[in-house]
Amino acid sequence: MENNNSEDNPKRTEERRERRYQCRFCNYSTDGCGNFKRHERIHTGERPYSCFYCSKSFASSTNLKTHVRLHTGEKPYACSYCPYTANEKASVKSHIFSRHMNQSKTL
């Protein structure tokens, strides 16, 4: 419209294909509405996922799921060396590191 040089050159179309969603805060752009909304939350600090059990809220559903396990007591991550289980993958990792890695020469 305002760009009146070689508007109808088909070869240029692919190069300057525009992404539909352009971030207002940085130069991130995407075709996916979902991606875009998730991205803008980086800037707005919006946290649409709130916990059912307490008033905490989270920016992503994954973070919320991890948090909710604190209430439900669900511990889907298990140590492969002993019966230890945890609600976060990172906890199992640090458990393995501190309980099983350090004492490799104890036997």
* Site for Zn ion, rule CB under 5 A: 23, 25-26, 28, 51, 53-54, 56, 79, 81-82, 84
Expressed in angstroms, the distance from the first to the final Cα of the chain is 77
Q: Considering the complex, what minimum distance in angstroms separates the CB of residue 12 from Zn ion?
A: 27
Residue number, 54 or 101, with CB nearest to Zn ion: 54
Residue number, 12 or 72, with CB nearest to Zn ion: 72
Q: Considering the complex, what minimum distance in angstroms separates the CB of residue 70 from Zn ion?
A: 6
Q: Considering the complex, what minimum distance in angstroms separates the CB of residue 59 from Zn ion?
A: 14
10 Å Cβ neighbour count for 6?
8
Alpha-carbon distance of 69 to 76, in angstroms, equals: 9
Alpha-carbon distance of 22 to 30, in angstroms, equals: 7
